Structures are given as structure tokens and as C-alpha cells.
Structure 1
């Protein structure tokens, strides 16, 4: 029998003394002064923390159950510089959720913009916090039904500086990319490992549609 972890604290156990916008560019950074309760009782000393304000985003792994292939996107990512690897990463379809947009709407919009594909059923995988020690970004992660025969070419919005190449690969090859480290970004790893666990279910559900 598993023991459930009881978490005694919530947002009411944090005192936000101030919050100011420290940087307001393409991305935003807020500076907090705060204090929070301690496990042994009382409150911690005043802390200063900078937060990378990113909000919510949506990522989707397009999967064709009939051919057992996935769609991966290749594009330049500045955050991959200085890590001894190519900064052109293999990733999922992804986009930032605009105000009032549902994650499903973002997934379908980005499928068209980034890969030229129309997504069918969206199967939820999970929601997760990217790196809560420094950013508030929350990702909504899906696997999306797709016909890979429509996935090809170079895509992206020029005014956003996007230059995105579409790749169609066998699911087993994508799993090998994760195992070898060729794919090393969190959303792609989580989605592909989920697909490994759920591929038989999706093939049964989607192959005849």
C-alpha cells in the first residue's frame, strides 16, 4: 500500500512583499521580494527571486497510427548554444497560448503554421511546469492524430523569425533519438516516452479512422 504525501502548504503560506517588472522585452522578467513558511515552523528570511515570465504554452506530437510515424520539427534554438551540440533541435509542434486561447486551439493553429498539417483527435498526455525554480511556464502536452503524407517542407512565420524544417520518421527511430540523446528537450522526451507506452492503444483507436 502506497503512502500518500500530505503537503501542508499552499499559496496562502507565501507572503509576496513586492513584485516589479525588471525586464520587458520579447520575454519578461519579474523581480519578487517574498517570504514563505518553513517546515519546522515560522517564516524564512526575506528572499529576492527573479522570475522568467512565460505563461502557458502547448506542445503536440503528431502521430500517424496507420504508418507508425511521427512528425518532428527542426529549428534553431538560442538556448542550445554553448552546450557542445548543434543548436538546431528536433522538437514538437509548439506555441505560446495567447490570452483566451484553449490549448487545443493553439495545438491546431501551430500545426498549420509550423508544419502545414491538420491535426485530428488530440490525446492529452500531461501538463507540467517547465522549470519552476526560475520560470512560471506551464506546458500542455498532447499527442495529435495526423496523416503524415501532408507533412513536408519548410514552414514558420517570417515576422517571428521562424525557419522550421519538417521531418517524418518512424516512431521507433524517434525512440532511438531519445535513447541516444539526439533528442534532448523535455517536451519531446516526455511525449515520445508516452507514445512508447501507449502506441498500441493509439494504433487500435486511430488506425481505422
Structure 2
């Protein structure tokens, strides 16, 4: 049976629409054994997002951020503070690339001209509706405009970290870096031998 015809009678019910939207996706699922069943799945999300790893091949450094994340705090890990790449939501009518460049300046203060697409991923496809577009962006010291630190109107307070690539990569092993987007992008740079 084709995947498309396995799912019929689709409907959605919005349960909450605050910062993000929580909704039920309801449908009839037709199993390979010939039976069918009405299923309902909760989905949560806001808009699609971006993640950007800034790297400098001349200095072998990367730019990361450190900020408070309530779910990390809820798990009792690192007092809720997570080391991660630049990340954020794509605004309405904004391309992922433009969002990546905008978020880079807002969060870490680097005004870069372009980014290179790595992939598009779902980080928790069982419940989270968000697609995340992964990028890398080359930077130099001339790109640092000394602003950054997040958008105060969005209650962001971001510490900017510039660290040696090898040190950042070791932080995966020590579990100082536990953010999936950050791990994937650091591994991408390592696998492609973009840093010494």
C-alpha cells in the first residue's frame, strides 16, 4: 500500500496557541494487515527554525552561545544553561538563510554575509512539529559588531563564547555540549576537515 493512501480522514484540533501551538492530528491509519484505526497524535511547535555554527578556519575557532533553557533546568542539568550554536525561529515570509544571518547578529553580534546549508532535520519527530535548517557560516574578527547577546524584548540573555574548535569538540565527550544541533554541526565540520 502506498504511504499516502495509508492515511485518510485527516483533521486537526488546536488545544493551545500561546508561545507555540499544541494541536492534535487525527486520522484513520490503514495497517498492512488490512485493519484500520482512528489515531490521534499531539504535535507541538512554533515555526520552523535555524541553527548556525560560526567557524573561523584561520584561527580554528568557533562561536557558541550559552543561555538558559527551561527544559534543561527542569531536568536538573547544568542549572539550565546550555552551550549551543546560534539558533532561532524563522519569521513569517523570511527565508531560512535570511533568518540564519539575522539570528547570528542578534545572538552573537557577528554580521556575516552568507551561510552554507548543511541539512534540514527534525529533532524530535514524534511530537515536535519544527523543522530545523542547519547551516555553517564562516566569520572573521572584522565581522564582529560587538552587539549580540540576544533580544531583550524576547527576554534573551546570551553569553557569547569563542572557543578553539578542538576544545568545543571535546565538550561533546565531557557532555558540556548536549544540544543535538550543536553536536551535528561540530561533527559536520570535523568530518569535512574544515578545521585543523
Q: If the length of structure 1 is used for normalisation, what is the TM-score?
A: 0.85
Instruction: Find out whether 1:96 has 2:70 as its counterpart.
Output: no
Answering whether residue 115 of structure 2 is matched by residue 118 of structure 1, we say no
Pick one of 157, 162, 165 that aligns with 1:163. Answer: 157
Matched, 1:29 2:22: yes
Change (3 A) 1:71 1:152: farther
Question: CA separation of 1:23/1:119 partners in 2, compared to 1, >3 Å: closer, same or farther?
Answer: same
Contact 1:122 1:142 in 2 (8 A): yes
Change (3 A) 1:188 1:16: farther
The Cα shift of 1:148 comes to 4.3
SS at match of 1:167: strand
Per the normalisation by structure 2, the TM-score is 0.90
Deviation at 1:35, TM superposition (A): 2.0
The equivalent of 1:81 in structure 2 is 73
What's the RMSD between the two structures over aligned residues?
A: 2.0
Q: Matched residues in 2 for 1:32 and 1:57: separation? A: 21
Q: Provide structure 1 residue ranges, at least 5 long, that are not aligned to the other structure.
A: 1-7, 204-209
How many residues end up aligned between the 2 structures?
194
The answer on whether the counterparts of 2:101 and 2:114 sit within 8 Å (CA) in structure 1 is no
SS in 2 for 1:107: helix
The answer to whether the 8 A contact 2:111-2:145 is kept is no
Report the Cα offset of residue 98 of structure 1: 1.6
Contact 2:15 2:24 in 1 (8 A): yes
For 1:3, the equivalent position in structure 2 comes to: none
**Could you tell me how far 1:161 is from its partner in structure 2?**
0.6
> Structure 1 pair 20/151, CA: closer, same or farther in 2 (3 Å)?
same
Deviation at 1:83, TM superposition (A): 2.3
Equivalents in 2 of 1:98, 1:154: separation in Å? 18
Question: Which range is displaced more, 28-37 or 85-94?
Answer: 28-37
Q: Give deviations 1:65-106, integer Å, cap 9, x for gaps.
A: 110100000100011023231111001111111221111100
Q: Give the aligned partner of residue 133 of structure 2.
A: 140
Gaps of 5+ in 2: none
